[in-house]
Structure 1
Amino acid sequence: MGNSRRAFLSSALALGLGGVTVVVARAQSGSDGQEEGVVPVFTGGTELVVLHVTVADKDDRIVPDLKEDSFEIYENGVLQPIKLFRREDVPVSVGILVDNSGSMRDKRLKVNAAAVDFVKASNPDDEVFIVNFNDDAYLDSPFTNDIDRMQDALQRIDSRGGTAFYLAIQMSLDYLNEKAKHDKRVLLLITDGEDNASKPKLDLETLVRELQEQNNATTIYSIGLLSEEEKGSAKRAARAIRYITRATGGPSYFPETVDEVHSLTTQIAYDIRNQYTLAYTPTDLDSKGFREIKIELKGKAKKYKVRHRPGYYAQ
């Protein structure tokens, strides 16, 4: 573990955040509020694969009112019986990762305001942590639902240096795995460039594999404020951002101006609060390696688009 990573985690420990959280999924039959039971989340050898699913129409408007019989889940092409179906606004453990590199200096005030409005539009029982990153990544607020504390963390602006968003994501995953109390987990990444500062230099493929091997999958939503003046760098950044977010079942947004970030963050909050949770027990518990997941909609719902993580690594 590199010095940067140790610094991030030690800041959490210094704030009295020791201990390890056991990750579970709460199984619920149907969507009628039946009694819940606790079932381990799937990762090589446990019982359920849990999916957080967004359904939208052709104009990208969220469709929140489908029933279980509208969904079919396939793993490696094989139909899987649905063990859990839920369409509730459940609390989420959220990390907001904000680029604090030199090129963000003139954008941070509007980005900070949009991040706060994202939290205000989210479930009031969410827990949120704040990470600012440039050449390094800093946990400026551990988990909280105190808006004032979040605003204070976002205002710690020292815009300089490069962009280490791979490192920020990796360290945030560590923090979620150790400290998150909710089963549903999200990272919101706001950056204006390609990763050019992660130390040790992180390989994109390695980071994506780590995302797909988690005990409890985290969905990443990304907003890329990419410059038209640096076309080569912007294209590389966009490719990396899309690759990371698609691997987790999240979307990427590339607004033309920083003024659009506010509407995007409120849209993302609405998306998160109107997802479906589905889970299944794989019919094949022995095969190792990557398992592809595909969800198909049936009946009248076939006209809609569906977004979810594309698979996971069984170990």
Structure 2
Amino acid sequence: MEVDKQVRLASRIFLAGFIMGTAVAGYSQTPEQTRTRPVLRSTGVYAGSQEQPQQPTNKGSNEIDEGSVVRVNTSLITVPAVVMDRNGRYIANLRKEDFRIYEDGVEQKISYFASVEKPFTVALMLDVSGSTQFELAQIRDAANAFVSRLRFNDRVMAITFDGQIHVLSEPTDVATIRRSKLHIPPVTDGTVLYDAVDFALKRMAQIPGRKAIVLMTDGVDQNSHASLKSTLADIAEQDVLIYTVQYNTLPQLSQRLSPIKNEKARRKVQARLMQGYAVSEPYLRALADKTGGRFYRADDLREVGPAFEAITAELGVQYSLGYYPKENSSAGAQRAIKVRVRYPNMVVRARDGYTTAPIIARKTGGN
């Protein structure tokens, strides 16, 4: 009897040991559960490793861009820039780390960088109003010469304006424009310069990538609904370069006014046009200066060609920088921008600031 009890006890001990060993072995063969990286929750920018970050559960608050850049409740500010030496020669082949960008005196982290090889979309705007009716052939030839100097991978949107706005071509590759040439429609009375600028700004805002507006005009507006002040305010919210080429039509003013036989009416029209001429150059300079472009004056249409040549050369050596502001902005806030390079004796030309649009302000506020 005692022997039987010892046998049964030994059997139970053996069975219990076998079961525990099997359980331990099974646990050791179970793969370790993969740990999940924590999701970044910040108003800044995270340029992480090449591993993909976990998708946030609240898709409305976070956005994941290419290159593992996570952007949370903020908007990218893009700044086109041109770098020259003290002799005016353009500097190419600079790298992202060669630039420093400041907003209201605070250095920002450069999150986007495009070098000179990137193509441009150019809106070519031609004033073909009554003030230019004696030079339309030269304007057309200058425009076609400008297109011929662009690179094949650039795109062109051609616009003319007089009393109306005419879109000669939607953004189209340069090769197609060169084959078809630009044809100017019949001229109508009036000059809707400010309306045309407003139209071009809105259209260019819908186009991604690097972009520029090249505006050729005498700078005199007559019939626009938009105003000088409104268009200058609008460019503060844009990331487009504006190059202005002003040609002088004042010598032809008396010839243009000669069909008006009533002297009182003629003087009234002349006084209004002279007011337009007085503000024309300051307006065109402001468009260029505020966007980082350049103003050119051509007293003779023969000088337009060299101006266009200089613009196309400059477009070929542009840089585009982008950053997410470290501080949130309220609606309509004015922010100053300064771009520098780390090398001495170099000059950087870039937009000098921007105004926060209401929709951007709401986003940066976390709404």
The TM-score normalised by the length of structure 1 is: 0.76
8 Å Cα contact 2:126-2:161 kept in structure 1: yes
Distance 1:132 1:76 in 2: 38
Instruction: Report the 3-state secondary structure (helix = DSSP H, G, I; strand = E; otherwise coil) of the residue aligned with 2:92.
Output: coil
Question: Given residue 189 of structure 2, which amino acid in structure 1 is its aligned partner?
Answer: G
Give yes or no for the alignment of 1:309 onto 2:351: yes
8 Å Cα contact 2:108-2:325 kept in structure 1: yes
Instruction: Report the 3-state secondary structure (helix = DSSP H, G, I; strand = E; otherwise coil) of the residue aligned with 1:299.
Output: coil
Distance 2:243 2:122 in 1: 11
Give yes or no for the alignment of 1:101 onto 2:123: no
Task: Please list the CA deviations of residues 98-129 of structure 1 after superposition, one character each: whole Å capped at 9, or x if unmatched.
Answer: 00111212322222222222222222122211
Q: 1:254 to 1:286 in 2, by over 3 A?
A: closer
Question: Given residue 66 of structure 2, which amino acid in structure 1 is its aligned partner?
Answer: G
Distance 1:131 1:86 in 2: 27
**Map of 1:29-44 to 2, 5 A cutoff?**
37=66
Q: Offset of 1:135 from its aligned partner?
A: 1.4
**Map of 1:260-271 to 2, 5 A cutoff?**
260-271=303-314
| Match for residue 195 of structure 1 among 221, 227, 234 | 221
Instruction: Report the 3-state secondary structure (helix = DSSP H, G, I; strand = E; otherwise coil) of the residue aligned with 1:90.
Output: coil
Question: Given residue 186 of structure 1, which amino acid in structure 2 is its aligned partner?
Answer: A
Question: Given residue 313 of structure 1, which amino acid in structure 2 is its aligned partner?
Answer: T
1:218 alignment counterpart:
240
Distance 1:147 1:105 in 2: 29
Instruction: Report the 3-state secondary structure (helix = DSSP H, G, I; strand = E; otherwise coil) of the residue aligned with 1:129.
Output: strand
RMSD of aligned residue pairs (Cα, Å): 2.9
Q: Structure 1, unaligned stretches of length 5 or more?
A: 1-27, 30-35
2:230 alignment counterpart:
206
Distance 2:73 2:355 in 1: 11
Question: Given residue 313 of structure 2, which amino acid in structure 1 is its aligned partner?
Answer: Y
Q: Offset of 1:224 from its aligned partner?
A: 0.4
The TM-score normalised by the length of structure 2 is: 0.66
Task: Please list the CA deviations of residues 69-107 of structure 1 after superposition, one character each: whole Å capped at 9, or x if unmatched.
Answer: 442211011111222333232122221110011121232
Give yes or no for the alignment of 1:126 onto 2:169: no
Question: Given residue 144 of structure 1, which amino acid in structure 2 is its aligned partner?
Answer: T
Q: 1:123 to 1:149 in 2, by over 3 A?
A: closer
1:183 alignment counterpart:
209
Distance 2:150 2:330 in 1: 38
8 Å Cα contact 2:147-2:178 kept in structure 1: no
8 Å Cα contact 1:130-1:150 kept in structure 2: no
8 Å Cα contact 1:100-1:157 kept in structure 2: no
Deviates more, 1:188-197 or 1:146-155: 146-155
Identical counterparts, % of pairs: 25
Size of the aligned set, in residue pairs, is 272
2:321 alignment counterpart:
278
| Match for residue 63 of structure 1 among 60, 76, 91 | 91
The structure with the greater share of residues assigned to helix is: 2
Distance 2:245 2:230 in 1: 22
Q: 1:283 to 1:112 in 2, by over 3 A?
A: same
8 Å Cα contact 1:141-1:150 kept in structure 2: no
Instruction: Report the 3-state secondary structure (helix = DSSP H, G, I; strand = E; otherwise coil) of the residue aligned with 2:338.
Output: strand
Q: 1:85 to 1:156 in 2, by over 3 A?
A: closer
Instruction: Report the 3-state secondary structure (helix = DSSP H, G, I; strand = E; otherwise coil) of the residue aligned with 1:188.
Output: strand
Q: 1:162 to 1:49 in 2, by over 3 A?
A: same
Instruction: Report the 3-state secondary structure (helix = DSSP H, G, I; strand = E; otherwise coil) of the residue aligned with 2:134.
Output: coil
Give yes or no for the alignment of 1:111 onto 2:139: yes
Q: Structure 2, unaligned stretches of length 5 or more?
A: 1-46, 49-64, 254-273, 362-367
Instruction: Report the 3-state secondary structure (helix = DSSP H, G, I; strand = E; otherwise coil) of the residue aligned with 1:250.
Output: coil
Pick 1 or 2: higher relative contact order, CA cutoff 8 A, min separation 6. 1
Deviates more, 1:99-108 or 1:130-139: 99-108
Q: 1:166 to 1:53 in 2, by over 3 A?
A: same
Task: Please list the CA deviations of residues 111-161 of structure 1 after superposition, one character each: whole Å capped at 9, or x if unmatched.
Answer: 222222222222212221111101121112222225565686732243452
Instruction: Report the 3-state secondary structure (helix = DSSP H, G, I; strand = E; otherwise coil) of the residue aligned with 1:163.
Output: coil
Distance 1:158 1:99 in 2: 13
Q: Offset of 1:53 from its aligned partner?
A: 0.3
Q: 1:38 to 1:169 in 2, by over 3 A?
A: farther
Distance 2:142 2:73 in 1: 41
2:108 alignment counterpart:
80
Distance 1:256 1:151 in 2: 30
Instruction: Report the 3-state secondary structure (helix = DSSP H, G, I; strand = E; otherwise coil) of the residue aligned with 2:141.
Output: helix
Instruction: Report the 3-state secondary structure (helix = DSSP H, G, I; strand = E; otherwise coil) of the residue aligned with 1:193.
Output: coil
